[in-house]
Amino acid sequence: MEYDVLVVEVHLPGQRPFNFGVLLVDPVVNQLHARFASDLSLVTGEDVEVIREMPTLLTSMAAESGASGLFAHLEDTASNVIRVGDRRIVVAEDPVSAVSRAYAAYVAIP
């Protein structure tokens, strides 16, 4: 099955941007699946708490508007510290496998 994926990027002033996580829509139930980096050593100062809370915020937003609604919102408005790239397609048997595959491809550092 094909799944839409967004890569969540962090762009902090004076620091190199990095991919922080992946968001995936399960089109069957419009449910969000997500995985985020736990190592925030690239984030300094007061931004650490903001970035640390981002997964909770995004999950909450998806619960309110559905995963597709969250994707549309991020694609329209995320343009400052938190950005998303173009949608990507990941092929996998299920959404859990797809989000793991996307994370390995776009976020995890070998």
Closest of 18, 5, 12, 15 to residue 74, by C-alpha? 5
More confident site: 48 or 110? 48
Q: How sure is the predictor about 110, in pLDDT bands with cuts at 50, 70 and 90?
A: very low
pLDDT in tens, 5-54: 999 999 988 888 899 999 999 999 999 999 999 888 877 777 888 888 99
CA angle 35, 39, 42 (to 5 degrees): 120
Residue 48 phi, psi dihedral angles, 5° rounding? -55, -50
pLDDT in tens, 49-100: 888 899 999 999 999 999 999 999 999 998 888 999 899 999 999 999 999 9
What's the rounded Cα separation, in Å, for the pair 12 and 26? 30
Rounded-to-integer distance, Cα 54 and Cα 61, Å: 10
Q: Give the span between the Cα atoms of 36 and 30, in whole angstroms.
A: 20
